[in-house]
Amino acid sequence: MNAIIKAKLEILPDEPGCYLMKDRQGTIIYVGKAKVLKNRVRSYFTGSHDGKTARLVSEIEDFEYIVTSSDLEALILELNLIKLHDPKYNIKLTDDKTYPYIKITNERHPRLITTRKIKRDKAKYFGPYPNSYAANETKKLLDRLYPLRKCTQMPSQVCLYYHLGQCLAPCVKDIEKKVYDDMINQISKFLNGGVDEIKDELQQKMLDAAENLEFERAKEFRDLITHIDSIMEKQKMVSDDLTNRDVFGYAVEKGWMCVQVFFVRQGKLIERDVTIFPIYNEPEEEFLTFVGHFYEQANHLLPKEIFVPNTIDETILQSLLNTKVIIPKRGTKKELVDLAMKNANIAVHEKFQLIERQEERTVGACEALAQAMDIPIPLRIEAFDNSHMHGTDPVSAMVVFIDGKPAKKEYRKYKTREAAKHDDYGAMAEVIRRRYTRVLRENLALPDLIVIDGGKGQMEVAREVIEDELGLSIPIAGLAKDDKHNTSQLLFGSPPEVVPLKRTSDGFYLLQRIQDEVHRFAITFLRQQQQTNAIQSVLDDIEGVGPKRKQQLMKHFGSVKKIREASELQLQEAGLPPKLAESIFKHFQEISLKKDQ
């Protein structure tokens, strides 16, 4: 514990609020809330913790706090701070799947569509549905019952839907608002559980048609009733009332939490959502934060009721979400919460070993490297590799691994500008200089470890740039390869020495993945450059073929070889004007004849 933290801990207030943990670079890595700031924040720096919390605490170099007037205010502030700073240790729902909804648009001539995005556009949304098939089948049924507009843009004449009886043709007819209002009310009634009433109306229409000897029309009504039955019987009734509700349960094991959400719509359990994540705060506090995030996502619509376990303060959630939050005490409603809790326990128990193994191969591997190299844990690793084809088209690439996993959005490609074509050392120095000059200029995150795909020479030129030119102190490692081009040794130190690391260890496995990834990324970029240069060289002499045409041809044919072999018709099919297609075809014909001679 450093002096700054020690001093701040002594003056923490006995008030509710939020705290922001920072690493050595001043980056906010965790945001939490507390009923009593003094007790909660001090708990991080006293006693022993599990692996995840210990890892968080090991990175904390400073913290800030904000006092609030209530627990609810602290929860709202926490959600806003997480959204603002996106700390790496907080709950992330980015991988959360979206569910389909049926939407009645808010337009002069409304439409019925399926969507996975919920917007504040005054439209009506119904769902979620367990999958696209269920949503689309329900929509098809409603299309046959209620002839709302189908076209996205209003056409100038009636379309096929009008002739099928599935559209009122507002493109050529004046449709009164009352007609739409009646249909929207009927659709809403159907989707909110009034299926039996709709079926009774269809049954009566079927009988009326039969009495009037309109047997084809009677058959259509009968088929619609059968279709409704086939859709609705696939879902099991779990509640006698038809209130839409979400049922939450959670379980905690070894610093991980599993939250299960059951979606109950029209009395039927239609789908569940499962999320497992590490926690660093009290389970009840983490649960409140999770639920706040859950409904902040655009793909989760607030139901009329939410059921939660009896360990949760429902009044805070109710104020936050502005919907009814209930802790069921008995009967089938309590059984639903118990079922969600039971499923959460099973899920976190079954998946924990897999999660633990993944940790060993990612963050655990970083810890193993730190121990072997005697450096701080390299949670951010940046690796570099050069590539060229017999000295031509020299390129370099950088990949980034954060917490032992690739961060592909941060990968970078480089064309060497100053280094000579065959100068690997010069190319490495140039790329290292360009990368970290920019990092310093733009105040970007510095790596905990730089990995060079190469031996002692490349390591030395990288060290000269990093330490002597830029005045930075970042550990630099080299990866030597054997004669089969496989990772063989980890080099570190000045002068570089071999770091003993078992080939079967997770640390060595991480280095292999990093080396393979940076090599793959560099080779891919090299091939792209060669292809670009090749097409530029063979098409440069043809009048009318500029950069856009070259890109158009490559996108259509995929290679220079296929462009050479293409007929005039195939070139026109690629979007070229006939005269230009003829010019390109003749150009390659002439080149081919010269070769034959």
Residues 6+ apart with CB under 8 A from 594: none
Residues 6+ apart with CB under 8 A from 246: 261, 262, 263, 264, 303, 305, 306, 307
- Strand residues in 327-379 grouped as ranges (E): none
**Nearest in space to 88 (alpha carbons), one of 17, 44, 22:** 22
H helix and E strand count, the chain? 20, 19
pLDDT tens string, the chain, 597 residues long: the values are 788 888 889 889 999 999 999 998 889 999 999 999 999 999 999 877 777 788 889 899 999 999 998 888 888 889 888 888 889 888 776 544 567 888 889 888 888 888 887 777 888 887 777 667 767 877 887 887 788 888 888 877 888 888 777 888 888 888 888 888 888 888 887 776 666 777 777 788 788 888 888 787 788 778 777 766 665 544 444 555 667 889 999 998 877 889 999 888 777 777 778 888 888 888 998 999 999 888 876 556 788 899 999 999 888 898 888 889 999 998 888 888 998 898 888 888 877 666 556 666 788 888 889 989 999 999 899 999 887 654 456 788 899 999 888 898 899 888 877 766 667 788 888 999 999 999 999 988 899 999 998 788 889 999 999 999 999 999 999 988 766 556 678 899 888 888 888 877 888 888 888 888 888 888 887 666 655 554 555 666 677 777 677 777 777 777 777 887 888 888 888 888 888 888 888 877 776 666 555
**508 and 501 in contact (C-beta within 8 Å)?**
yes
Instruction: Determine the Cα–Cα distance for residues 312 and 110; give it in Å rounded to an integer.
Output: 41
CB atoms within 10 A of CB 122: 7
Helices (H), 362-475: 363-373, 424-441, 456-463
Q: Residue for token digits 């004007």?
A: 577
Backbone angles phi, psi at 346, to 5 degrees: -65, -45
Q: Tokens standing for 73?
A: 């205010």
Q: Which amino acid appears at position 589 of this protein?
A: Q
The per-residue pLDDT for 185 is 85
Q: Tokens standing for 171?
A: 């493109």
**5 and 45 in contact (C-beta within 8 Å)?**
yes
pLDDT tens sequence across 82-127: 888 889 888 776 544 567 888 889 888 888 888 887 777 888 887 7
Backbone angles phi, psi at 145, to 5 degrees: -85, -35
Query: What are 514's strand-pairing partners?
Result: none
Alpha-carbon distance values, 236 to 298, 335, 510 (Å):
27, 15, 47
| Environment class of 327 (CB within 10 Å of its CB; exposed 0-12, middle 13-18, buried 19+) | middle
Return left, alpha or beta for 228; rule: phi > 0 is left, psi -120 to 50 is alpha, else beta. Answer: alpha
Q: Tokens standing for 202?
A: 């269809």
The per-residue pLDDT for 504 is 76
Instruction: Determine the Cα–Cα distance for residues 496 and 476; give it in Å rounded to an integer.
Output: 10
Predicted TM-score (pTM) of the model is 0.52
Q: Which amino acid appears at position 407 of this protein?
A: A
